[in-house]
């Protein structure tokens, strides 16, 4: 590979930061459904409430942090560092509580950390990456993100199966890889030097939805609709629990899911830079709908493994591209703000999405909840095709 085609060092380091952070996170998150089905209480409805509300609590932080990083003339590292640090303090404390109410508080603090870091980090990736490599850069970032999730789940499965450590002990141990990620960000990430005169941040338009470029507003509206389809992936673990999988096998299932997502993220980003971002995103969402219908129909653990593999491919294809589209539409001086709107919009959608999904699961069935998600995903893919039809075949942004 020529020097010109290499990803910037900042993108590579940030991707490894996400690797370690997600290793820590996924030593914990796939165990949450078991805790809600057992010692925490509350079941699927409480799980949906906690996961949805935790995401939404962070939504304003996502918009504020992205905007603030623009106002600081693109200085984004400090916000990303603070966000990762907050999450890696709050998350291990889930190992010392005994009900779902304090879990709601800790998950919310964890997501506040994510809200602070997400938009500045994504904007920093876009800042240092040439436009023709952005889908690949975001795909690479998502690949290592999912790779860390796979490692964390496998570590948790191995430890629970082979040692006497309990689930709370495992959650406390998640502080180790999380701290490694924070240190890596603090020591090795370098922000790009400002070139030319400093931007006039006072000239940024007021923070109003109607002042966003029309293509971004249309795109975010469709992404919000799709967010109602993609409920927390912890519900896949809950589905496996219903079908009789043990805790170690559920962790392995989670690891396999993230391995497939990691591989598909890298492939999807490279493919989108060669073709078009919207065409691959439409394919990703269409396949997502198909596999959600399969989750609704599956009745045996063996079949569940196959469905998880297909679902992982569909999600991985589109994860990085969703963010690359934002960088296509946004100017350099407003990139953090645009990513803030993106992260806030998807975060706010998480509250009703989680509650509705968990409520349908509780009052009808898990199959009905996944079928509902499949319908929403199919509608989103069709709407994306209709609104951005001209961009499906054109490589211009």
Q: Please give the residue range of the domain that contains residue 385.
A: 9-190+212-391
Reading the block at residue 375, the tokens are: 């319908």
pLDDT tens track for 280-295: 888 999 999 999 999 9
C-alpha 164: how far from chain center: 32
The confidence band for 1, taking pLDDT boundaries of 50, 70 and 90, is very low
Average pLDDT, the chain: 83
Is 396 domain-assigned? Answer: no
Give the pLDDT confidence score for residue 2 in this predicted structure.
40
Give the pLDDT confidence score for residue 318 in this predicted structure.
84
Rounded Cα gap, residues 33 and 41, in angstroms = 10
Rounded Cα gap, residues 224 and 48, in angstroms = 17
Give the pLDDT confidence score for residue 203 in this predicted structure.
53
Give the pLDDT confidence score for residue 4 in this predicted structure.
46
Is 2 domain-assigned? Answer: no
Is 130 domain-assigned? Answer: yes
Q: What interhelical angle do 214-227 and 366-387 show, nearest 10?
A: 160
Three-state SS across the chain? CCHHHCCCHHHHHHHHHHHHHHHHHCCCHHHHHHHHHCCCCCHHHHHHHHHHHHHHHCHHHHHHHHHHHHHCCCCCHHHHHHHHHHHHHHHHHHHHCCCHHHHHHHHHHHHHHHHHHHHHHHHHHHHHCCHHHHHHHHHHHHHHHHHHHHHHHHHHHHHHHHCCCCHHHHHHHCHHHHHHHHHHHHHHCCCCCCCCCCCCHHHCCCCCHHHCCHHHHHHHHHHHHHHCCCCCCHHHHHHHHHCCCCHHHHHHHHHHHHHHHHHHHHHHHHHHHHCCHHHHHHHHHHHHHHHHHHHHHCCCHHHHHHHHHHHHHHHHHHHHHHHHHHHHHCCHHHHHHHHHHHHHHHHHHHHHHHHHHHHHHHHCCHHHHHHHHHHHHHHHHHHHHHHCHHHCCCCCC
Is 129 domain-assigned? Answer: yes
Higher pLDDT, 375 or 98: 375
Is 235 domain-assigned? Answer: yes
Most distant CA atoms of the chain, gap in Å: 62
Greatest mean pLDDT among 15-29, 42-56, 121-135, 322-336: 15-29
Does the pLDDT of residue 90 top 70, yes or no? yes
Rounded Cα gap, residues 116 and 119, in angstroms = 7
Give the pLDDT confidence score for residue 204 in this predicted structure.
54
Rounded Cα gap, residues 10 and 262, in angstroms = 19
Predicted TM-score (pTM) of the model is 0.73
C-alpha triplet 106, 112, 117: angle, nearest 5°: 135
Rounded Cα gap, residues 315 and 125, in angstroms = 21
8 Å CB contact between 112 and 61: yes
Does the pLDDT of residue 208 top 70, yes or no? no
Is 3 domain-assigned? Answer: no
Is 242 domain-assigned? Answer: yes
Give the pLDDT confidence score for residue 28 in this predicted structure.
86
Is 155 domain-assigned? Answer: yes
Does the pLDDT of residue 348 top 80, yes or no? no
Domain count of the fold of the chain: 1
The confidence band for 382, taking pLDDT boundaries of 50, 70 and 90, is very high
Higher pLDDT, 314 or 389: 314
Give which of 228, 344, 324, 331 is closest to 269, Cα–Cα: 324
The confidence band for 258, taking pLDDT boundaries of 50, 70 and 90, is confident
CATH of the domain at 307: 1.20.1250.20
Higher pLDDT, 4 or 263: 263
Percent of the chain past pLDDT 90, that is, above it, reads 25
């Amino acid at each position: 590979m020529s020097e010109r085609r290499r990803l910037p060092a900042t993108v590579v380091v940030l991707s490894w930061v996400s690797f370690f952070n997600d290793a820590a996170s996924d030593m914990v998150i796939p165990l949450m459904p078991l805790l809600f089905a057992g010692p925490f209480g509350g079941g699927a409805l409480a799980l949906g409430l906690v996961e949805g509300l935790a995401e939404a609590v962070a939504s304003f932080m996502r918009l504020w942090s992205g905007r603030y990083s623009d106002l600081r003339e693109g200085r984004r590292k400090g916000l990303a560092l603070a966000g990762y640090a907050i999450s890696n303090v709050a998350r291990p404390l889930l190992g010392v509580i005994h009900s779902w109410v304090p879990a709601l508080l800790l998950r919310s603090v964890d997501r506040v950390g994510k809200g602070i870091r997400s938009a500045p980090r994504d904007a920093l990736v876009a800042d240092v990456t040439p436009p023709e490599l952005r889908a690949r850069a975001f795909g690479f970032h998502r690949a290592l993100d999912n790779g860390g999730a796979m490692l964390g789940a496998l570590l948790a499965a191995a430890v629970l199966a082979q040692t006497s450590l309990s689930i709370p002990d495992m959650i406390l141990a998640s502080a180790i890889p999380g701290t490694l990620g924070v240190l890596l960000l603090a020591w090795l990430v370098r922000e790009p030097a400002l070139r030319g005169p400093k931007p006039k941040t006072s000239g940024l338009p007021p923070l109003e939805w109607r002042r966003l470029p029309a293509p971004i507003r249309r795109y975010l509206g469709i992404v919000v609709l799709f967010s109602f389809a993609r409920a927390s992936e912890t519900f896949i673990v809950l589905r496996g629990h219903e079908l009789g999988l043990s805790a170690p096998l559920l962790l392995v299932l989670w690891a396999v899911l993230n391995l497939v997502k990691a591989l598909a993220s890298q492939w999807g980003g490279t493919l989108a830079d060669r073709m078009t971002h919207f065409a691959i995103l439409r394919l990703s969402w269409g396949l997502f709908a198909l596999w959600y219908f399969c989750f609704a129909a599956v009745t045996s653990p063996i079949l569940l493994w196959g469905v998880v593999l297909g679902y992982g491919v569909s999600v991985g294809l589109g994860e990085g591209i969703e963010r690359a589209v934002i960088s296509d539409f946004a100017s350099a001086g407003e990139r953090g703000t645009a990513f803030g709107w993106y992260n806030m919009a998807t975060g706010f959608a998480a509250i009703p999405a989680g509650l509705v999904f968990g409520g349908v699961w509780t009052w009808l069935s898990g199959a009905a909840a996944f079928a509902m998600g499949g319908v929403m995903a199919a509608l989103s893919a069709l709407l994306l095709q209709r609104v951005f039809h001209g961009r499906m075949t054109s490589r211009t942004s």
